[in-house]
Structure 1
Amino acid sequence: MGAVTPTAVERVERVPKQDRSRATRQRLLEAAVACLAEHGWAGSTVSVVAERAGVSRGAAQHHFRTREDLFTAAVEYVAEERSTALRALFPDGPADRRAVVSALVDLFTGPLFRAALHLWVAASNEDQLRPRVTELEARVGRETHRIAVELLGADESRPGARETVQGFLDLARGLGLANLLTDDRARRERVVAQWATLLESALG
């Protein structure tokens, strides 16, 4: 007799329940960001996200009690993933500043930024959501600033260095906004090149 091949159900049952729960949560978070980026706040309900993630609404509510819980957790989760990926691009720390500037600008021109923007707009009109998004944005902003300082090799003890890095990040956010309606890649590349030069001069 040949070896008995386990059924699909048996294979699933062998996966620890905690791991399945973690995988479900991750699918919900990724689906929430995708829905928010594509449909905005009004079109992104828990039911829509659950369907996209391939789980029941009840399963979604088991992980996230409210809609606000789901979407703030989703944006924070993907921001953390992007931060990890950004660090992985430059594992040896400070690198060519133009490459770093370009990578940091890319953070503000993808679906995460679009999703976060929809969340900010919703928070401006939703009293229940506003304090949570304000706190989230502050945390994400601090982490992005830390990464930028690290990768740019900026010495913030130098006069104006901190403001220079923050000004660059504000510029990157503006480039992300400009890219929402039209493909702004060509102009963005010229701006990135100029800012890399300016940062080289300002940061030493």
Structure 2
Amino acid sequence: MSTTTRVPQEERTRAMRHRLLEATVECLVERGFSGTTTTVVSERAGVSRGAQLHHFPTKNALVVAAVSHLTELRGGELGRAVAELPDGEGRTRAVVRMLGDHFSSPVFAAALELWVAARTDPALLEAVGPLEQRVGRETHRMTVEALGADESRPGVRELVQATLDLVRGLGLANTISDDTRRRGRILDSWADVLDEKLQENR
């Protein structure tokens, strides 16, 4: 087979896999883990059932691949949000608000579906666990940098972690009902406390 024939085929295969993974994440958001079936995913992706089964023969194989894809999506989404943060006064509030938005986004809702399913599915947990730890470390690192926090100072690491725990909890609450207004008030209050504490440790 010539290179000119092989490369387009590789591109088509890559594009098909990408459509399947995107469709899986969308289904997780809209239908939850139990409602995400290989049939629904293949229909949404516009891929034949046979082609989908060729790449991902089982639901778990599909979802495990989607876990890795989702990890990249979450990292990219957060990185772009950090890049758009303002400098100077109000930076801490902007960081906290940005994290609140990130943890109430559809991408977080999809990740949450995987966490819940992995609790009772050892194979899924084996895939989700290490990736989620990686996401957690990267999110923590980005938050430290965005806040300009010095974790060598006593209590600063705990403040950063408390911030992340808070926004995750608020993100969870947002999956039940639209919690935007209450979340905004809580995050602004926490930003004032966090800013004061970080100033003390600079």
Match of 1:121 among 116, 126, 133: 116
**2-side partners of 1:70 and 1:170: how far apart?**
29
Shift of 1:172: 0.6
- 1:72–1:20 distance in 2 versus 1, CA, 3 Å: same
What fraction of aligned residue pairs are identical, expressed as a percent? 55
- 1 or 2, which has the higher helix percentage? 2
Residues 7-36 of structure 1 show CA distances to partners (whole Å, capped at 9, x for unaligned) of xxxxxx898222222222221111111111
Amino acid at match of 1:33: V
Bigger mean CA offset, 80-89 vs 118-127: 80-89
- Number of residue pairs matched by the alignment: 192
Shift of 1:189: 0.5
**2-side partners of 1:161 and 1:94: how far apart?**
22
- 1:65–1:158 distance in 2 versus 1, CA, 3 Å: farther
**Corresponding residue for residue 22 of structure 1:** 14
Tell me the secondary structure at the aligned position of residue 16 of structure 1. helix
TM-score, length-scaled by structure 1: 0.84
Runs of at least 5 residues in structure 1 that lack an aligned partner in the other structure = 1-12
Any residues of structure 2 matched to 1:85-124 within 5 Å, and which?
85-91=77-83, 95=87, 96-124=91-119
Shift of 1:118: 1.5
**Corresponding residue for residue 140 of structure 2:** 145
Shift of 1:65: 4.4
Are 2:42 and 1:42 aligned?
A: no
Match of 1:80 among 40, 53, 72: 72
Shift of 1:193: 0.7
Runs of at least 5 residues in structure 2 that lack an aligned partner in the other structure = none
**Corresponding residue for residue 59 of structure 2:** 67
TM-score, length-scaled by structure 2: 0.84
Amino acid at match of 1:63: H
